[in-house]
Amino acid sequence: MKFHREGIPTLIITLLFGAIITFIAHYFFPTFAIAHWFAYLLSGFLLIVVLQFFRHPTRKHTLNDNAIIAPADGKVVVIEETEEGEYFKDKRIQVSIFMSPVNVHVNRYPIAGEVTYAKYHAGKFMVASLPKSSTENERTSIVVKHKTNGQSVLFRQVAGALARRIVMYSKVGDKAVQCGEMGFIKFGSRVDLYLPTNAKIKVNIGEMVKGSQTVIAEF
C-alpha cells in the first residue's frame, strides 16, 4: 500500500494543523488533560482520514484488448442509452461510477490507445450522484481511440459536493495504457463512461466495481 503523490500537500497541512492544536492545548491549558487528549484524538483522526483517502494500493490489473475496464472504484449508479453532446454528438451507452470518500480515488484509462480529446470544464459542485452533475459540475472529458479496433470511448471525471480539485494527466496525443493512471479526484466524485452502442455491458446498477480490475463492458 502506497500513499498517492496528490495527497502530499494535504498531508503536510494536516500534520501542521495537528502540531498547532497540540501546541495550543499544552501552552494555554497546561494542566487540562482533556484539552490535551482532544488535540491528540483530533490530530490522529484527521491523519487517518487523509492516509486512507489518498491510499494507492498495489493491484494486479485486468488487461484485455476486447474489454473496457473500470476507470475507478465505486458503485455503478447509471447504465442507460443517452445523447453525448460534447464530443460524439450521437447515441452512446453511459455507465457512471460514484466514488464515496472511502473509495480509492485514482482514475485509470479503461482502454489502450491514443488520447484524441482532453478538456477541462469549470462548473458547479453539486452532489456527484445527481444526473445533471455530469454536465454542470466541474469536470474533465477525455477520449481515447482504441489502438486496434478504432472505436473511441469518452470518460469524464466529475467533481462532487466535497471534491474541489480534479487532477487530469491526459493530453491530446498521449499514449493511453490500459489501467495506467490518468488522474485523481479529491474527496468524493464520479466517473462517467460513454461507450459505443454495440458494447456488451457486463455490470449492473448498484454493483461495486474496482478500478483496473472490473470489466465494465466488452467490444
For residue 128, is pLDDT > 60? no
The pLDDT of 152-175, averaged and rounded, is 87
How far apart CA 95 and CA 176 sit, in angstroms, is 20
What is the number of alpha carbons within 13 Å of residue 94 lying toward its C-beta?
A: 20
For residue 87, is pLDDT > 70? yes
User: pLDDT-derived band of residue 162, with 50, 70 and 90 as boundaries?
Assistant: low
* Cross-strand partners of 155: 142, 193
How far apart CA 174 and CA 197 sit, in angstroms, is 25
pLDDT per residue as tens digits for the range 88-112: 999 999 999 998 888 998 999 999 9
pLDDT at residue 186, as a whole number:
80
Cβ burial 54-78 (10 Å sphere, 16+ → b, else e): bebeeeeeeeeeebbbbbbbbbbbb
Report CA dihedral (50, 51, 52, 58) to the nearest 10 degrees: 140
The pLDDT of 211-215, averaged and rounded, is 96
Which of 101, 102, 104 is closest to 3 using CA atoms?
Answer: 104
How far apart CA 123 and CA 26 sit, in angstroms, is 43
Active site residue 43: no
Question: In a 3-state reduction of DSSP, which class is residue 84?
Answer: strand
Which of 14, 21, 57 is closest to 39 using CA atoms?
Answer: 21
According to DSSP H, which parts of 29-127 are helical? 33-53
pTM above 0.95, yes or no: no
Among the options 43, 141, 152, 189, which is catalytic?
189
pLDDT at residue 144, as a whole number:
98
Q: At 103, which amino acid appears?
A: N
